[in-house]
Amino acid sequence: MKVVVTGGAGFIGANLCRHLLAADGVSEVVAFDNLSTGFRENLDGIDAELIEATILDPEALDAAFEGASSIVHLGARGSVPRSVAEPMASHLANATGTAEVLEAARRAGDAHVVVASSSSVYGANTRMPFSVHDNVDHPVSLYAATKKSNELMAHAYSHLFGLPATGLRFFTVYGPWGRPDMSVFLFTKAILEGRPIQVFNNGDMRRDFTYIDDIVQGVLASLDRPAPGHRIFNLGNNRAEPLLRFIELIEKAAGRKAIVELKPMQKGDVKETFADIEAATRDLGFRPTTPIDVGVPRFVEWYREFYKA
């Protein structure tokens, strides 16, 4: 089985490539990445082919997708704040880029396409936990709007062309090899260096923090269980944790107290996320096993070792 991972040199992509190469039945793994936010060194020691190209290049996609049985589309311009600051770049990468991936997958033939979505699609929803059956017509950031558009396009391609497609809504993923602009990375770096951290909405935030290994297991489960048509699942830890407790765990693992600067809510952000994973547990066998009490110290230990901090 050949698996192509767009965004394969990124945070989730590189971790997924590692696990794919150890999975039964996988003969070839291709990481497709333009290295705009991914890093070549994320793939060090991994026996995956790296194709350095953009998802906006149809010919490069056709060459990469030839003979693929599964395509995991993780390539995107992440970050809600970046989408607020640079909306057209986010639209081009996330919406147009996904359309190019789906069209190339259709040309390639029978591949099962797994498309990364986000808890951001729930937008202004306040009923917790977020269910895949909830209405998601009120995004509060362009990033969220592009992710919903990805789901709609995947549904249309599945309906029109019989493309098996699975959408996975990721909830606040953290762990080793994370992007430097992610909160756990920013907090850990600043605390270890004795610099202030910015905590938005005056700290009154809750997140369904999900460790990278659990997310990867969910992606692998979706690949193992393709189904006709289009399906959507939440992949989260099934717990809404206070942001300040998350920071306390970083402090404990770092052995230093944080210097906290309380800030108002950022544009495009939401107060709380909380994943209902009933459908993913039932249909994929998805069961996260890493609470933040375990995942946060594990990340800080990795950060210390990797950056000699």
Q: Are 32 and 51 in contact (CB under 8 A)?
A: yes
Distances (CA, A) of 241 to 115, 178, 291: 26, 19, 10
Name the residue among 76, 82, 93 with its Cα closest to residue 269: 82
**φ, ψ for residue 308, nearest 5 deg:** 50, 45
Q: Which residues are the active-site residues?
A: 143
E strand or H helix that includes residue 100: helix 97-108
Checking phi first, is residue 202 left (phi over 0); if not, alpha (psi -120 to 50) or beta? left
Checking phi first, is residue 210 left (phi over 0); if not, alpha (psi -120 to 50) or beta? beta
Helices (H), 129-242: 142-161, 183-193, 212-224
E strand or H helix that includes residue 105: helix 97-108
